[in-house]
Amino acid sequence: MTAALVLTQVLNGLQLGVLLFLLAAGLTLVFGIMDFVNLAHGSLYMVGAYLAAATASATGSFLLGALVAVPGTMLIGIVVDRIALSGLYRRDHLDQVLATFGLVLFFNEAVRIVWGPSPLYFETPQWLSGTVELFGFGYAAYRLAIIVVGLAVAAFLAWLIHGTRVGMLIRAGASNAPIVSALGVDIRRLNMLIFGLGAGLAGLAGLMAGPIFSVQSGMGETILIQTLVVIIVGGIGSIRGAFLAALIVGVVDTLGRVFLPIWMARAMEPAIAQAAGPALASMLIYLLMAGVLAFRPAGLFPVRG
Amino acid sequence: MRFTRNRLAAVLVAAALCAPVVAAAQLKIGFMGELSGPQGPLGQDQYDALMLLIEQNGGRLGGVPVQVLREDSQLKPDVANQIVERLIDKERVPIITGVTFSNVMMAVHKKITEKGVFLIGSNAGPSPIAGAQCSPYFFSTSWENGQQAEVVGKYMSDKGFKRVMTIAPNYQSGKDTVGGFKRYYANAPIGELWPALNTQDFSAEIAQIAAAQPEAVFAFLPGGLGINFIKQWNQAGMRGKIPLMTSSTTDGIGLPAMGDAALGVISGTFWGPDLANPANQKFVRDFEARYKRIPSQYAAQSYDAAQLLDSALRKVGGKVDDKPAFMAALKAADFKSVRGSFRYNTNQFPIQDFHMFEAVKDGQGRMTLKTIATPLREDKDAYFDKCPMK
């Protein structure tokens, strides 16, 4: 267990964390402000990855892929919101879960019809494909780029939320949406803006994840579950909470998967450790969530209301 | 408008009159596989290869006109059970083929064979049905699950690798596969990694491998897991540094999505598109011409299932009702397999060679597999002596 291994894993944890943050930011705002449970958020992430992979493969340019994927996903998100979801805002959560789960199935089949059943080819751009020497060990340049993009988005959102009038409305909406509406703010436009912003960020997450993960139908579900853990741990509706919780979840998951089996192998029979270690490690973030729910039900960094 | 409706009615009446006549002359065969979802491409290759031979024969197998009922089991054992009930009780099919995943196979194997319906498995080969639960109505044209890992274990022993790590998802097939690997690998692995089955990011595992510096790595990461792992392995700069040997990972389905990231990765199985026998060369050429892609091993297995049925139906003149005769005809396996040598063991799994392949680019720049070694010849699976059939 060398220092280099620990450092690499911390970076890996941060990289997973910022990727989760890109998804959690949109999900937590939609949940917190619009009181809307959107299971199809992972599908937007998948659509972003498909748009990026298809464009990048056709043109050979990662940047063109980005230019199509992010606005394209935002547009698709807004259209879906207007057509299918806006009528459900006032319905109860079960109806929303049913409808957005239907959308998950719809999108999974839609990408199969458009792009075929096989996973899409999507490689890292040439200028990010190598490794970077950091503290004496090599780290994948593309993963560093994900961390940089994630932190830049976090800084942008911090400015948007705390430095602009729109951000003030978003904050107000998160703590008390009916009052904001009663004060004469066009909540409909605010909702559309929030939904579009969330969809765009999901598209960006899909774009960044495409070269490291398999671009295939159903890729959104796995990450959606982790994203839900993030917004519950962070406190629903809180961007700051989503950011910090995403980093915590990312680091806990990554470090747990590496070091828990090693520690357990020292403490108990190798056979038991080998069976229990990986199983416990993959449960770690859910145990974390259960702990947070037990002791801080509003999340670690709730919206001040 | 009226004219159109009348004509439509006439067509319907004609179809209704014709249908029973056609059905009576045709032999119904059920095809069941995973045709949707992330694992859909596997079942699609199985289906396409089966239909390729039937199309080439003008809709016949062994001279008998056949009708294939295509069913998607959706990787759900309960759905598969309902399909099997419908195929057997309502459609009265005497033969079912396909079956992509082992959990689906375990759910339907007993149900099908106990009713005296022939099951030609063209992919999944869980160890119980090769061993104690074997059935005279089941014939495999693939392998027992462990064999594709055993060949890699043998190869790595032959190469003299002493310090080896393994990585496989933490579920039953993962355990079985690594078990198969260890049966044929001379030393004990210095480390075993067991990521969860839904793992997307293997950075934690790759960093552990980098830290442990083994001489080689054995990976069993089927489907999307493998695509994720191979991409991330390449990005971490590990490709070319530590030899990566796989089973069911860099297969014909995953390679196009992995692209250059998979170059040089070694894998073990029974078949590759470059095997130099005339039956295989014809199959690969025809499949590419028909479907515009290189066939995967899943297509090869299913093409052999079609050839097996073709040969056996010809022998019995299409009379599948004479079950002992049809069983003997299947057991004879009197056809030119795309893998070369093929004969049935007592448990009705093939006795066959296993090869090692390297992921390379072909003349058109597409990813494909090149044979580099044949560590196991005339190999029998490890469970046949537990099967009561002799």
Secondary structure, 3-state, chain A: CCHHHHHHHHHHHHHHHHHHHHHHHHHHHHHHHHCCCCCCHHHHHHHHHHHHHHHHHHHCCHHHHHHHHHHHHHHHHHHHHHHHHHHHCCCCHHHHHHHHHHHHHHHHHHHHHHHCCCCECCCCCHHHCCEEEECCEEEEHHHHHHHHHHHHHHHHHHHHHHHCHHHHHHHHHHHHHHHHHHCCCCHHHHHHHHHHHHHHHHHHHHHHHCCCCCECCCHHHHHHHHHHHHHHHHCCCCHHHHHHHHHHHHHHHHHHHHHHHHHHHHHCCHHHHHHHHHHHHHHHHHHHHHHHHHHCCCCCCCCCC
| A5/B254 touch (CB, cutoff 8 Å), yes or no | no
With pLDDT > 90 as the criterion, what percentage of chain B qualifies? 84
List pLDDT tens digits, range A161-206.
889 998 888 888 877 778 888 888 888 888 888 999 999 999 999 9
The total number of structural domains that make up chain A? 1
| B257/A214 touch (CB, cutoff 8 Å), yes or no | yes
User: Which pLDDT score is estimated for A202?
Assistant: 96
Q: Establish whether domains B2-143+276-344 and B147-269+354-379 are of one fold.
A: yes
The CATH number given to whatever domain includes residue A63 is: 1.10.3470
**Which residues of chain B have a CB within 8 Å of the CB of A120?**
257
Query: Lowest-pLDDT range, A179-188, A292-301, B84-93?
Result: A179-188
**Is A224 among the domain residues?**
yes
Query: Lowest-pLDDT range, A42-51, A67-76, A207-216, B16-25?
Result: B16-25
User: Which pLDDT score is estimated for B23?
Assistant: 42
| B237/A140 touch (CB, cutoff 8 Å), yes or no | yes
Contacting A residues, span 91-110, partner chain B, CB-CB under 8 Å: 108-109
Architecture of the B2-143+276-344 domain: 3-Layer(aba) Sandwich (3.40)
Comparing alpha-carbon positions, the chain A residue that sits nearest to B171 is A279
Q: Which of A111, A134, A144, A257 to mutate to test the interface with B (most CBs of B within 10 A)?
A: A257
Comparing alpha-carbon positions, the chain A residue that sits nearest to B253 is A118
List pLDDT tens digits, range B273-297.
999 999 999 999 999 999 999 999 9
**Which residues of chain A have a CB within 8 Å of the CB of B204?**
9, 12, 254-255, 257-258
Comparing alpha-carbon positions, the chain B residue that sits nearest to A7 is B207
**Is A300 among the domain residues?**
no
Find the domain containing A142 and state its range.
Answer: 3-295
With pLDDT > 70 as the criterion, what percentage of chain B qualifies? 94
With a cut of 70, say whether residue A212 has pLDDT above it. Answer: yes
- CA distances to A162, B5, B54, B225, B262 from B359, rounded to whole Å, are 52, 57, 31, 17, 6
Q: Determine how many CB atoms are found less than 10 A away from the CB of residue A61.
A: 12
Phi, psi of A169 (to 5 degrees): -65, -40
**Is A31 among the domain residues?**
yes
| B258/A121 touch (CB, cutoff 8 Å), yes or no | yes
With a cut of 70, say whether residue B3 has pLDDT above it. Answer: no
Cα(A81)–Cα(A92) distance, integer angstroms? 17
User: Which pLDDT score is estimated for A131?
Assistant: 87
Q: Which of B34, B201, B255 to mutate to test the interface with A (most CBs of A within 10 A)?
A: B201
With a cut of 60, say whether residue A305 has pLDDT above it. Answer: no
Q: Which residue has the higher pLDDT, B165 or A118?
A: B165
**Which residues of chain A have a CB within 8 Å of the CB of B44?**
117
Domain ranges of chain B: 2-143+276-344, 147-269+354-379
Establish, for the pair of chains A and B, how many residue pairs have beta carbons separated by less than 8 Å.
124
| B201/A8 touch (CB, cutoff 8 Å), yes or no | no
Mean pLDDT (whole number) for B40-48: 93
List pLDDT tens digits, range B242-270.
999 999 999 999 999 999 999 999 999 99
List pLDDT tens digits, range B200-226.
889 889 988 988 999 999 999 998 899
With pLDDT > 90 as the criterion, what percentage of chain A qualifies? 57
User: Which pLDDT score is estimated for A304?
Assistant: 66
| B170/A279 touch (CB, cutoff 8 Å), yes or no | yes
Q: Distance from A35 to chain B by nearest Cα, in Å?
A: 29
Contacting A residues, span 238-267, partner chain B, CB-CB under 8 Å: 254-255, 257-258, 261
User: Which pLDDT score is estimated for A181?
Assistant: 82
- Does domain B147-269+354-379 fall under CATH 1.10.3720.10? My reply is no
Q: Which of B40, B211, B223 sits opposite A5 (nearest CB)?
A: B211
Q: Which residue has the higher pLDDT, B71 or A261?
A: B71
Cα(B251)–Cα(B300) distance, integer angstroms? 12
Determine the Cα angle at B220 with ends B203 and A257, to 5°: 35
With a cut of 80, say whether residue A271 has pLDDT above it. Answer: no
Q: Is A143 on the interface with B (CB under 8 A)?
A: yes
**Is A56 among the domain residues?**
yes
User: Which pLDDT score is estimated for B6?
Assistant: 55
**Is A164 among the domain residues?**
yes
User: Which pLDDT score is estimated for B21?
Assistant: 43
Q: Which of B46, B47, B100, B200 to mutate to test the interface with A (most CBs of A within 10 A)?
A: B200
pLDDT band at B8 (very low <50, low <70, confident <90, very high): low
ipTM for the predicted complex comes to 0.80
**Is A189 among the domain residues?**
yes
Average pLDDT, chain B: 92
**Is A188 among the domain residues?**
yes
| A138/B237 touch (CB, cutoff 8 Å), yes or no | yes
User: Which pLDDT score is estimated for B19?
Assistant: 46
User: Which pLDDT score is estimated for A257?
Assistant: 87
